[in-house]
Amino acid sequence: MTNTRPNFVRNCWYVAGWDYEFTAGKPHPRTFLAEPVVFYRKGDGTLVAMADRCVHRLAPLSLGRLEGDDIRCMYHGMRFTADGKCVEIPGQDMIPSSACIQTYPVVEKGSWAWIWMGDPHLADAALLPDARGLDDPVWVLKSGQLDYAAPHELINDNLLDLSHLAYVHVASFGATPGWITQQPRTTQIERGVRVERWVESAPPLPPLPSLAAYESVDMWASYEFLIPGVFLMYTSLHPPGTAKGSNHAAPAGDVLFSNFTCQAVTPLTAGSSRYFFSWGPGSQFGGEEIAQQMIDVAMAAFLEDKLIIEAQARIIAMSPGEKIMPNAADRTVTIFQRMMERMKHPASTSS
Amino acid sequence: MTNTRPNFVRNCWYVAGWDYEFTAGKPHPRTFLAEPVVFYRKGDGTLVAMADRCVHRLAPLSLGRLEGDDIRCMYHGMRFTADGKCVEIPGQDMIPSSACIQTYPVVEKGSWAWIWMGDPHLADAALLPDARGLDDPVWVLKSGQLDYAAPHELINDNLLDLSHLAYVHVASFGATPGWITQQPRTTQIERGVRVERWVESAPPLPPLPSLAAYESVDMWASYEFLIPGVFLMYTSLHPPGTAKGSNHAAPAGDVLFSNFTCQAVTPLTAGSSRYFFSWGPGSQFGGEEIAQQMIDVAMAAFLEDKLIIEAQARIIAMSPGEKIMPNAADRTVTIFQRMMERMKHPASTSS
Amino acid sequence: MTNTRPNFVRNCWYVAGWDYEFTAGKPHPRTFLAEPVVFYRKGDGTLVAMADRCVHRLAPLSLGRLEGDDIRCMYHGMRFTADGKCVEIPGQDMIPSSACIQTYPVVEKGSWAWIWMGDPHLADAALLPDARGLDDPVWVLKSGQLDYAAPHELINDNLLDLSHLAYVHVASFGATPGWITQQPRTTQIERGVRVERWVESAPPLPPLPSLAAYESVDMWASYEFLIPGVFLMYTSLHPPGTAKGSNHAAPAGDVLFSNFTCQAVTPLTAGSSRYFFSWGPGSQFGGEEIAQQMIDVAMAAFLEDKLIIEAQARIIAMSPGEKIMPNAADRTVTIFQRMMERMKHPASTSS
């Protein structure tokens, strides 16, 4: 066994889960970035995360016992505070200062729990993506998640090139050729890209009475894709012809319907990933029922993605040395990949 | 991940399957020689094979859609002809000439589909083994197949030393010690070996009325084993004493019964293989019923082989550095192994 | 595949199994120290062990046939004596003297079958640990076994630091904090360590009428842990106060109850292990019923160990480069680990 570990972007917030996953009163084991991590809530509800590995003999703390705000390894009984500091070694008075568990900054914001697995001094809540919570007043959001037997990079690539909608998601999203013919405008932003486009002649979905009057609509889709793999998309529907009058700019006039989705990709290991997502209508356009319809459609679509991406991962694993051949639609993919690469090698950014 | 790939003999025809496997109207994914391959039929029924890997992002074409004689990758929509040429990149006018899928020569002959995974300029239908089809007028053949968790070389070795019949196949084939005591004559031929022998005092099987008169018979068994692992065996039964009078030559007189079998081994990966086989009586000696009896016995026997060969593969995998110790019966095995080795390194054949 | 094999201590007796596992009349395949081994009994009942790998083509002899005291490989028929000597190569008169299967010294003693997988000239029955048999007159013992998906070293570590009882086995053994607060006395002995301690205020278990009079008892626990992983523990219960009067020495006075357990860890591969164990009361203190109660409790406890140790193994496998941090309770662990390391590199012991 060598000392090499997979190379991930580290100085960023990864989604660790939904706040409702981390129930109080017990430790929750996870694997992120190929590292074992244990989460638990302190008495005041604060979520903490630390390496799921006792310093003593590397047994998982997640099989341990919560004692107040501390966690005790239930192999030989070492006890640690939520700061990772050892405060008891059974049968031994002296506690070496090196008996510390690595902790990770964690923030909960709007239903999402985020973890920072890089230099903790750089962890800055100001860098948190603006993912909305399930209780956001502007949107009615439902949530879900899926695990992939595929590297997170392939899922990022997928989300950065929505031309795949016209092939992968015809059945689920009713996606139209407009996703190919109408090129998006890509703008590089702080820690990511913004991708905006009009899709003309889109189907008037979901099947709302207010949309029934239209044979087709114009759709404005604008998303940010942020380091390390967070997708925030605003979509709105407009009367036919709006796109033509817009000169490729964001819509100004009537909105027939709007919806919002947050999606986030977190590597479990180098070859497996967890995909978190929410979706739903603007609260003035729909309630729980529409939101449930939308998340059901999204789940069906994401299973379509999972099928092709996991198959792609298997082909890549069988094909060492085979190179990809990017096309015009991949410009955004390539921009983002380069941002990720630069963040893996921070030293080279200063040169 | 390194760029090294398993080392297979490439300039030869491998059995890819039975023609009936490759039904029209959809792509058929396979793995041969550790490479992903997709097969499909053109409108005129011609079978084509190409790398199951879109040049764009390496997604499998077998999840794609047939459009006329073309195949479209259903990830981002690139379309390829049966020659592997890209004819459409959605959202992009220019198509680089390098946007090609590697295709493989394929020939269907007598129920068998063959693929050439080496230098396509050397693919020559004249090199196809004379495997007979299920509609051959001379033989009434039935077919089957089995997958092995074992390297193809171990299955080849098995077929090149039929002394194993006297141990592995006593129950199924009723094989007698004659398979050991009567040494075969091995002749090196173009791209393989011919192995011929008389087996005296063989059981009068299958249980035909015409054989019931004999307590035992003399059996003539003659097979060719051809690069890369194709076994074609003719067997005939004769009245007792025929062998003695033959001076080890092929039989000339009365034939009580004859049968023919084709068997072929194709590597799926370095450690797994697919085994195809047919068997049946000469058409003047039996019909469908006898053929079915024979293929059922063959399947039972091949499961006996699979048991010991997969166990052998596990022992070998646990025993790095352990060497085999060939004995007298292995002469044919060794001859063939050397032919295979030479074909893996074609340059060294000229020196 | 490289020629490197896992590094095990070899010049020692490993438990191969219970005598009752190796039924007469058929070969028994096992994997020990990452080597395939076949066991069978000769006509006189003697157990023999040899490499489960025919010299010819490395097929497993365990798929072979016993013929008297010999074993015949049922692939191509080579026959070997119980000494591993080849006595028949079908179809070949000359038998090379190198056609030998490696055999392993085996001893059966007191229900346990032991195998020596190092230099056979060093195999010495005098080195056998004093594990008692199921028919021992002094103890009424029951037996069991468990397989671990964990390296044997981690199970050894577990048995060498019984402070874990106070955390892992509170539910099963009703273990008390005394296992931590009362430090044991460790003595280095021939090929191992002796670990002795008093545990005061132990629960009066098993629930015998004779113990019912006590709210708690003093427990004397003395075990030897011997190369390569054999645990022999004598435990006795005494009236409260006995420990205090003993000045940390072995008990001299009244024994309320005593019991004995043998446990042995054998590596299957570098990452998996088999754990054999027996347990039961002194024959003057209990019979079959008490013995059964005790082995049931032991099995429950060993499943608690298995849970934490297999989890620990997974964490270690995910954490290349992470080091353990021994504490005071690990002194015995460290002593034994060093003895094992020295035995892996015998040359360095003389320097």
C-alpha to C-alpha distances, C313 to A83, A253, C32, C227, nearest whole angstrom = 25, 61, 19, 21
Chain A environment of B1 (Cβ under 8 Å): 317, 320
What parts of chain C have a pLDDT lower than 70? 1-5, 346-351
CATH architecture, domain defined by B13-127:
3-layer Sandwich (2.102)
Of A136, C333, C57, C256, the closest CA to residue B337 belongs to: C57
CATH 3.90.380.10 residue ranges for chain B? 142-344
- Which pairing describes strands A192-202 and A185-189: parallel, antiparallel, or unpaired? antiparallel
pLDDT for res A5: 64
- Name residues whose C-beta falls within 8 Å of residue B143's C-beta, 6 or more positions apart in sequence: B18, B111, B134, B276, B277, B278, B295
User: How far C240 CA lies from chain A's nearest CA (Å)?
Assistant: 23
Q: Which chain A residues are closer than 8 Å to B34 by Cβ?
A: 318
Contact B318 C60 (CB under 8 A): no
B–C interface: beta-carbon pairs under 8 A: 85
pLDDT digits (tens, 9 = 90+) for B304-317: 999 999 999 999 99
Is C91 in contact with B164 (Cβ distance < 8 A)?
no
User: Are residues A327 and B60, on separate chains, in Cβ contact within 8 Å?
Assistant: no
Q: Is A327 on the interface with B (CB under 8 A)?
A: yes
Chain A nearest C-alpha distance from B77 (Å):
6
Collect all residues of chain B within an 8 Å Cβ-Cβ radius of residue C36: 315, 318-319
**Interface contact B167, partner C, CB < 8 A:** yes
Peptide bond before A206: cis, by omega within 30 degrees of 0?
yes
Backbone angles phi, psi at C121, to 5 degrees: -70, -20
Better-predicted residue by pLDDT, B351 or C240: C240
Q: Can you give the pLDDT at residue C181?
A: 84
DSSP secondary structure of A69-119? TEEE-TTT--EE-TTSBEEEBTTBS---TT-B--EE-EEEETTEEEEE-S-
Chain A positions touching C307 (Cβ under 8 A) are 63
Q: Which of A312, A321, A329 sits opposite B91 (nearest CB)?
A: A329
| Per-run averaged pLDDT (10 residues), chain A, 351 residues | 70 98 98 98 98 98 98 97 97 93 97 97 97 97 98 97 93 86 91 95 89 93 98 96 88 92 98 98 96 96 97 96 90 95 70 36
Closest Cα partner for A69 from A50, A88, A46? A46
Correct CATH for B142-344 of 3.30.565.10, 3.90.380.10, 3.20.20.70, 3.90.1300.10: 3.90.380.10
Query: Please, which chains are in contact with C (at least 3 CB pairs closer than 8 A)?
Result: A, B
CA distance B232 to B192: 11
CA dihedral B301, B306, B309, B312 (to 10 degrees): -130
Q: What is the pLDDT of residues B82-141, one digit of tens each?
A: 999 999 999 899 999 999 999 999 999 999 999 999 999 999 999 999 999 999 999 999
Q: What is the pLDDT of residue C180?
A: 87
The span from the CA of C106 to the CA of B240, in Å, is 51
> What is the ipTM, given to two decimal places?
0.94
- Name the residue type at position A300: A
Looking at CA atoms only, how far is residue C308 from chain A in angstroms? 7
- Residue with tokens 């000239």, as numbered in its chain: C121
Name which of A187, A247, A256 is nearest A218 in CA terms: A256
* Least Cα separation, residue A6 to chain C (angstroms): 11
CATH 2.102.10.10 segments of chain A: 13-127
* Residues in chain A closer than 8 A to B89 (CB atoms): 327-328
C314: chain A residues, CB-CB within 8 Å: 60
Q: What average pLDDT is seen over chain B?
A: 94
Which residue of chain A is at minimal alpha-carbon distance from C163? Answer: A76
Strand, helix or coil at B80?
strand
For residue A181, the chain B residues in CB contact (below 8 A) are 91
Judging contacts by C-beta atoms under 8 Å, the chain C residues touching residue B316 are: 58
Q: Closest Cα to residue B338, out of B131, B330, A226? A: B330
Give residue C171's pLDDT. 86
Q: Cα distance from B4 to chain C (closest Cα, Å)?
A: 14
Burial pattern C120-137, b for ≥16 Cβ within 10 A else e, equals eeebeeebbbebbbbebe
Tell me the two tokens of residue A311: 């198959």
- Cα(A32)–Cα(A110) distance, integer angstroms: 21
Taking contacts as CB-CB distances below 8 angstroms, the residues of chain B near A308 are 59, 63, 74-75
CA distance B75 to A165: 8
Q: Which of A228, A289, A224 is nearest to A261 (CA)?
A: A224
Cβ of A163 within 8 Å of Cβ of B76? The answer is yes
Q: How far B94 CA sits from the closest chain A CA (Å)?
A: 10
The residues with which A147 forms a beta bridge, in sequence order, are: A274
pLDDT at C3: 44
Average pLDDT of span B247-262: 91
Torsion of CA A279, A283, A285, A288, to 10 degrees: 60
φ/ψ of residue A27, rounded to 5: -80, 150
Distance CA C247, CA C252 (A): 11
Q: Taking CB atoms and an 8 Å limit, are A4 and C325 in contact across chains?
A: no
Q: Does B181 touch chain C (CB under 8 A)?
A: yes
d(CA B182, CA B109): 35
pTM assigned to the model: 0.94
Q: Which of C10, C12, C4, C5 is nearest to C344 (CA)?
A: C10
Which B residues 4-63 touch A at CB under 8 Å? 4-5, 31, 34-36, 52-53, 55-60, 63
Query: A58 and C322 in contact by Cβ < 8 A?
Result: yes
Which of A83-87, B4-8, B163-167, B207-211 tops mean pLDDT? A83-87
DSSP string, C105-139: -EEEETTEEEEE-S-GGG--GGGS--PPPTT-SSB
Q: Looking at CA atoms only, how far is residue B111 from chain A in angstroms?
A: 29
pLDDT at B31: 98
